[in-house]
Amino acid sequence: MDASIPEIEQLRGMMTNLMRIHMLSTNKFNNFDELINEYILSGIEIFRMETGIVSRIDDRQRYHVIEVVSPLKSLEKGQVFRVDETYCRTVFESQRVVGIPHVGKMDYMKCHPVYQALRLESYLAAPIYVGEKLYGTLNFTSLKPRAFGFSQHEHNLILLMANSIGAYILLRSKEDNLLALNEKMKRFVGYVAHDMRNPLGAIIGFTKLAQLDNLPTNKVQNLLGRILGSAERALELVTTILENAALSSGKISLDTTSEAVSRLLEDAVDLVTDFADDCQIRICIIIERELSVSCDANRIRQTLMNLLVNAIKYSPNSEDVNINAFSEGKNCKIQLVNLIGAGEAKLFGHRKIYDSIGFGLDIVQEVLRAHDSQLITRELDGQYIAEFTLPLAF
């Protein structure tokens, strides 16, 4: 099906190929990779090409080979190139279907690294969109040129295939999000079942004791104090769960102001000072210079406190936890660095105040996501590093 074939024959071929693509969309596949592979194999046959690739292009303009079918041993799934090192640069920049029947006849393409390395003469590609965002490309190449070029029908077919792949990717993403939310809900239920049992059980037990006849006033007051403490713990758990759920659903708006980084860090450290002292941990704040950021101060303090508690709990005794803050372009990067301790988290008297109910880091991620940021964690030379960025306030 190329430009040299009469229009009526092209239409017949178009109908045949449309039926084939429709069958692909209605077939059931065991997994996403199998589906993509079948689309590539069908495209190779429909367009009479030798190599087919589905690629993903990331925000750093890197070209990831998601799936490939090719006789060329130099092409493999998982390879990463710069976009400008591929023929797909034209598709990426124009965001439309591109067909080149004979690359070697184009003077400006003769020096292209792909042509120099592989001598791929013909090329047909379409952009893959997931929602409204460009995801990557569906492209087919061959060592042989196409003497009569690519027909408009072929342009339409590859665009249809690319759109179908984009729709599958979007559905898979939604399915993954639903599965993640379901797992999160299961964790919530588990945390509530485990952590709420203790304070509620204590409230019931202390209340029964306080109802005993002839109980001295001082003992009643002591029991009331313990009931109050357990009730506050239960309320803290419920508040945290509801807050996390609200953040996840995007129902909480940020109160963004310009805040001094030094004040944010000092306030967070003050909140965990007793816990750090119990654990014999010193917290050191290192700020490049006086910086201010745009953020919701209360939520960032909460984020910093959660990260500090985590760092303190898993650091060896008598070691430092460092908080570094420095400018990075238009952002301020905040790093928490601590040595990685052996064994389980330490148990101390104040731990009951700061103990995580299991999803403190979930809340951190949601707060940072609302700030268009994310928590990045890594290990380096025996140290655990947790970092995120906030926009500088100018």
Q: How far apart are the first and last CA of the chain?
A: 59
Kind of pairing between the strands at 320-328 and 282-287:
parallel
pLDDT tens digits along 328-364: 999 999 999 988 765 444 443 333 334 444 556 777 8
Can you give the pLDDT at residue 204?
86
What are the distances in angstroms from CA 156 to CA 127, 159, 211, 268? 12, 5, 80, 58
Report yes or no: 45 and 24 within 8 Å, Cβ to Cβ: no
Single pTM value for the model: 0.53
| pLDDT confidence of residue 355 | 44
- What pLDDT score was predicted for residue 5? 63
Phi, psi of 318 (to 5 degrees): 65, 25
Identify the DSSP state of 187: H
Give pLDDT, residue 205.
86
| Ordered alpha helix ranges (H), the chain | 7-26, 32-47, 89-94, 113-118, 152-195, 197-210, 217-249, 261-271, 273-278, 297-313, 351-354, 360-370
The tens digit of pLDDT for each residue in 281-339 reads 899 999 988 899 999 998 898 889 889 988 888 888 778 899 999 999 999 999 999 88
Q: Would you state the pLDDT for residue 353?
A: 37
Residue stretches of the chain with pLDDT short of 50 = 1, 343-357
- Predicted local distance difference test score (pLDDT) of residue 97: 95
Closest CA to 62 of 33, 85, 87, 40: 85
Residue 14 CB burial class (10 angstroms; 0-12, 13-18, ≥19): middle
At 257 the pLDDT is 93
Q: What is the pLDDT of residue 348?
A: 38
> What pLDDT does 277 receive?
86
The three-state secondary structure class of 121 is coil
> Residue 189: its pLDDT value, please?
65
Which domains does the chain carry? Answer: 7-174 (3.30.450.40), 196-250 (1.10.287), 253-394 (3.30.565.10)
pLDDT value at residue 56: 94
Cβ-Cβ contacts under 8 Å for 195 (sequence gap 6 or more): 237, 357, 358
**Can you give the pLDDT at residue 273?**
86
Q: What integer pLDDT is reported at residue 276 of this predicted model?
A: 86
